[in-house]
Amino acid sequence: MTTNSLAPIANLLQQHRVAICDEWLNDIMRIWEHSHAGLVDKEEVSRQANDFLKELAVFFNSHSGEAPAEISTNSPFGKIACELSIERAKKGFKPADTAQYIITLKNVLTRHFLRTYSETPVDLALYLRVMNDMLDRISLLTFEMYVETRERIIAQQSLSLSELSTPIILLWNNVLLLPLVGVIDTVRARQFTERLLEAITRYEANVTIIDVTGVPVFDTSVARHFMKVIDAAQLLGSRIVMTGISPEGAQTLTKLGINFSNIISRATLRSGLAEALLLVGRRIELIGGVRP
Amino acid sequence: MREMIDPERVLIRDSTDIVRARAVARQVANQIGFTLADQTRLATAVSELTRNIVQYAGEGVCEIADASGEEEIRLRIIVEDNGPGIDDIDRAMKDGYSTGGGLGVGLPGTRRLMDDFAIESSPGCTRVSIALVRRRV
Ligand SMILES: Nc1ncnc2c1ncn2[C@@H]1O[C@H](COP(=O)(O)OP(=O)(O)OP(=O)(O)O)[C@@H](O)[C@H]1O
Ligand SMILES: [Mg+2]
């Protein structure tokens, strides 16, 4: 037997597990049933709480130092903690709710420690300190995981939004249309540039119409994004027809001192489309051969 | 007597604030009777100045005020920050000068777009004041 000063904690966790688990669940469910009615499955929470306590016992059993080591997200224990907070983040729990979970356990354990070790105050002090330390670290870990998960969810949502907002349409053989709507920021610009270049290659597009009717403001940063996409598209052999710049927008751009070189610009998408078709040797005609 | 609109202050920290400042500027310009063309050049000017804040100063403020008088309607905007300041204003006001890999037309372009333009800068304070002005008829 090694001299593990913390083994008694592990023993207590094992011997009192059922009681601890019950008390913990009661306390936490009382809080959550209020704030998250319908979101918590009691069975599920109970299983997790049991796993959690088992893992905690394993940890103290194998751990001989005074203060617990760093808890990595890879340790079996870290994994349980992560699973907890990730799942809750997805369900829309607040970070405080997960903290609440750990704090509740802390209270329950403190009660049990006080009862069990009241005769040996020196040991009691050590156990309380180590247990507190450990649960604080877990708290931090779950909090970190929670934030990370939320951020990933938000990033995913904004990614799918920006993908939705920039479709690239094959209008005709070798003619692409990129209708831009909304604020053009660096992230969106990079993303539609990449996708446009890919589409130009895939469809061997000779002409790309960029319609900017839905772009609210032209400024130097938007202009720079356009210049880049225009340059790259032209390198791949696609002409650019820009459509939908309003008279006010055109005035603003010239005053600002910006001119797009090497592109064809048309006021409306309609005339831009006619121009683009002409560039690939087509024309829209009335059936019967009369020109529209 | 005309109703004056209270000045609006928009805190500038990131690109969403740029969008907000633009929208407020446009709206106030519209309310006090500027045309769509005026609103458009104003939105671009506000965009340039506030983006300079985000890019070079980190944070600042954009204040939009109705400064109209008997003779004219005037929309005044002050864009201010406590960042590092502009080393050489004369150069910064020239087309094509940029320390941030931009086109370098933000400041000179804004001056061309606006009816009034003033800039002062020293380490710790940069302040650009612009205005749209239209004579009353
Ligand atoms: N608020 C500011 N604080 C500090 N430096 C500034 C600030 N605004 C502008 N500058 C300096 O002045 C230079 C010129 O600004 P300007 O807006 O004309 O061009 P830019 O921002 O570099 O490029 P862009 O054409 O994209 O606006 C900047 O490169 C920067 O060095
Ligand atoms: Mg600029």
pLDDT at B1 over 60: no
Q: CB neighbours of A20 closer than 8 A, spacing ≥ 6?
A: A13, A53, A108, A109, A112
Sheet holding A207-214, edge to edge: A169-172, A175-181, A207-214, A239-243, A264-266
CB of A248 within 8 Å of a chain B CB? The answer is: yes
In a domain, A289, yes or no: no
Of A217, A220, A248, the CB nearest to B36: A248
Domain interval for residue A93: 7-160
Task: Return the residue whose CA atom lies nearest to atom 5 of ligand 1.
Answer: B86
Task: Return the residue whose CA atom lies nearest to atom 17 of ligand 1.
Answer: B106
Q: Which of B23, B42, B38, B30 is nearest to B5 (CA)?
A: B30
- The CATH number given to whatever domain includes residue A218 is 3.30.750.24
Pocket (CB within 6 angstroms of ligand 1): A 220-221; B 48, 52-53, 56-57, 81, 83-86, 92, 97-100, 102-107, 126
Q: Name the helix (H) or strand (E) containing B133.
A: strand B125-135
Closest atom of ligand 1 to B107 CA is: 18
Residue matched to tokens 């864009």: B79
CB of A38 within 8 Å of a chain B CB? The answer is: no
Helices (H), ranges, A4-75: 7-15, 17-35, 42-62
Domains along chain B with CATH numbers: 8-135 (3.30.565.10)
DSSP secondary structure of A220-272? HHHHHHHHHHHHHHHHTT-EEEEE---HHHHHHHHHHT---TT-EEESSHHHH
On whether both A152 and A178 belong to a single domain, the answer is no
Instruction: Express each pLDDT in A33-85 by its tens digit.
Output: 777 767 777 888 888 888 888 888 888 887 766 555 667 777 777 777 777 77
On whether both A124 and A180 belong to a single domain, the answer is no
This model of the complex carries an ipTM of: 0.88
CA of A214 to the centre of ligand 1 (A): 27
Q: Please report residues of B whose CB lies closer than 8 A to that of A247.
A: 37
Of B22, B41, B103, the CB nearest to A220: B103
In a domain, A292, yes or no: no
Q: CB neighbours of B87 closer than 8 A, spacing ≥ 6?
A: none
Instruction: Express each pLDDT in A226-253 by its tens digit.
Output: 999 999 999 999 999 999 999 999 999 9
In a domain, A127, yes or no: yes
- The CATH number given to whatever domain includes residue A28 is 1.10.490.130
Least confident of A79-83, A168-172, A257-261: A79-83
Distance from C-alpha of A151 to C-alpha of B128, rounded to nearest angstrom: 36
Domain boundary among A129, A160, A191: A160
Distance from C-alpha of A223 to C-alpha of A133, rounded to nearest angstrom: 55
Instruction: Express each pLDDT in B78-126 by its tens digit.
Output: 999 999 999 999 999 999 999 998 999 999 999 999 999 999 999 999 9
In a domain, A287, yes or no: no
Total number of domains constituting chain A: 2
Identify the closest residue of chain A to B46 by CA–CA distance.
A219
Domain boundary among A160, A178, A204: A160
CB of A231 within 8 Å of a chain B CB? The answer is: no
Domain boundary among A140, A160, A180: A160
Are A195 and A165 in contact by the 8 Å Cβ rule? The answer is no
On whether both A145 and A14 belong to a single domain, the answer is yes
On whether both A40 and A130 belong to a single domain, the answer is yes
Q: Please report residues of A whose CB lies closer than 8 A to that of B36.
A: 248
